[in-house]
Amino acid sequence: METAPTFFINGSWVPPSTDATIDLVSPATEEVYGTAALAAEADVDAAVTAARAAFDRGPWPRMPLADRIAALQGFLEVYRPRHEELAALVTREMGSPISLSRVMHATVPQLIVEAFLDMAPSYPFRQVRRSAVGNALVTREPVGVVAAVIPWNTPHSVAMLKLMPALLAGCTVVLKPAQETPLDAVLLAECVEAAGLPPGVVNVLTADRQVSERLVTHPGVDKVSFTGSTAAGRRIAALCGHDVRRVTLELGGKSAAVVLDDADMDTVVRAVGATSIRNTGQACSNKTRLLVSRRRADELVERVADLLSSLRVGDPADPATEVGPLVSARQRERVEGYIETARAEGAKLVVGGGRPAGCDRGWFVEPTLFAEVTPAMTIAREEIFGPVLSVLVYDDEDHAVALANDSSYGLNGSVFSTDTERGLAVASRIRTGTVELNGHLVGFHAPIGGFKCSGLGREAGWEGFDPYTEIRSIGVPPDVADVLERG
């Protein structure tokens, strides 16, 4: 049995204030394989107190930026060798196929760390601005103590999108992982400890929803950064709004892939496999609405159906597996409910729709494709978070854009065309924070985030530092401005 019996607070492993625990259940076998401690409000208070002291009186915010960069480079050096261990942990915890975990859950976090370390020296923490009526030194100061609340579906990637800019800016952090994935958070804390970051700079504990509300409303917290469902994001936004607490939200999506008539269908199908069904459909940026003209609809449906039918579903620890189980019994019930609703509303089931043969244990659902989906259907409007794709048909380019934008979400999307100029023109009309042209990803030097109900603020890129800073302007005389400009 694996256990996570302690929390990482103020640079030490400390026992919880109560004996509350949660069983860790394998998504692949439905067997309990471990337990983890659950925080009470007293544990949250201790973590915030440690982060508050580290920010108010500790060395971290007062270090030169170069020293913080060096410290986090040291973190990366102890984090990188634990790549395979991290991949195996995430596979065990949430059922991601091990081949995907090695990339999405273990390599990508390293790339995010590297990107922020690369960008930090050029971020404008200090700028001189001149005008006819005055001269100012504009500084970006650390916002303070950050509560970083991360999801189970991409735990370390999201953690690094929050931790790295916050720490580089000089903030201190309380990291709260999801109950489904506490063990990989322990690994992260062990790397913080091994890197020798000052006590209280990073604190890690697992909590349920009720106790998590204590964290996001704690008077010692200056900033909340949350990634998760839109429903939970609304609640957190309301709580933070009451206290005018700074908040960043990266929430759900119902992203569209617009397949223009001149698209290369091989490119489309490859992208569907990579960015529509990944993580067993449990990724907020997945393109789950496939929009195609009537002229090419049959071709797309046939090609995607062949792709989904060919995917190997099974044991996530097997490197040959392409689709694993869903994270929990509750998640499978949710996905199966959406499949039944789609049938009841008149969508045409093309492939999948059930539980895969040979998977008698574990929370598996077949990769599923529906055609003849209309914009008003539930599966075209709500985030399913499972391996379920919908094909919607458009009449012309304007109709395609209208369908893509006919959503309360605006997180991600894609456009496929062999005419780059045309593809870019259509991409510019789609109301989402990210649009991928012909399956090309934006990387981590560019900002990501959502329009509409997909969130507030941006992560990654230089813009990823902004939520963790407060801007101050200091009026200075011209000669001082001259000195400051010269550095």
As annotated, the active-site residues are 250, 284
SS3 157: helix
* 152: Cβ contacts below 8 Å, ≥ 6 apart: 93, 94, 177, 178, 179, 180, 181, 327
Question: Which element (helix H / strand E) includes 75?
Answer: helix 65-79
* 145: Cβ contacts below 8 Å, ≥ 6 apart: 48, 51, 52, 55, 171, 172, 173, 174, 220, 221, 222, 223
Cβ atoms within 10 Å of 373's Cβ, excluding its own: 23
Pairing status of strand 287-293 against strand 388-394? parallel
Gap between the Cα atoms of 406 and 451, Å rounded? 13
Gap between the Cα atoms of 301 and 89, Å rounded? 36
Pairing status of strand 202-204 against strand 172-176? parallel
CA terminus-to-terminus distance, the chain: 56
**Number of alpha carbons in the 13 Å side-chain half-sphere of residue 253:** 32
Gap between the Cα atoms of 258 and 54, Å rounded? 48
Query: Residues 449, 451, 454, CA angle at the centre, nearest 5°?
Result: 70
